């Protein structure tokens, strides 16, 4: 079963992303959530989701550190990481690329764009 992890410390953002991606559940995708960076890292290592929507500013461990750990320090193969954050400065985007994120999206985000990216990354037809 394919999996998507939504990692964000804001409950309303997690809920919005779950609602945006619920169509993928109909295609057999399991949606997982984490409300802090440490839990996100542990979930990625344990569940190996194909796609992660990762906030930058989270308690216990920030998204940059989670991404760096997954992509560089102790790589987990086949995980596509989308940094989804309010931090839209060029410096932040550059840091996202440096730690290995596959895509950097800023909030507020377009739900259709998020849904389309999820279908594309997981290779699913609508």
Whole-prediction pTM: 0.94
How far apart CA 27 and CA 62 sit, in angstroms, is 31
Q: Which residue has the higher pLDDT, 93 or 15?
A: 15
Domain residue limits at 117: 3-122
pLDDT per residue as tens digits for the range 34-81 = 999 999 999 999 999 999 999 999 999 999 999 999 999 988 999 999
**% the chain with pLDDT above 90:** 79
Query: How many folded domains does the chain comprise?
Result: 1
**% the chain with pLDDT above 70:** 99
Q: What is the pLDDT of residue 85?
A: 83
CATH number, position 84: 3.40.50.2300
Residue 8: exposed, middle, or buried by beta-carbon count in 10 A (0-12, 13-18, 19+)?
A: buried
């Amino acid at each position: 079963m394919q999996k998507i992890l939504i990692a964000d410390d804001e409950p309303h953002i997690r809920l919005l992303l779950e609602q945006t991606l619920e169509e993928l559940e109909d295609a057999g995708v399991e949606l997982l959530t984490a409300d802090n960076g440490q839990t996100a890292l542990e979930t990625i290592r344990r569940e190996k989701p194909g796609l992660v929507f990762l906030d930058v500013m989270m308690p216990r461990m920030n998204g940059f550190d989670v991404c760096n750990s997954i992509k560089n320090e102790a790589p987990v193969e086949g995980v596509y990481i989308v940094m989804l954050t309010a931090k839209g400065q060029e410096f932040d985007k550059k840091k996202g690329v440096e730690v290995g994120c596959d895509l950097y999206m800023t909030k507020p985000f377009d739900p259709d764009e998020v849904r389309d990216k999820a279908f594309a990354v997981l290779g699913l037809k609508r």
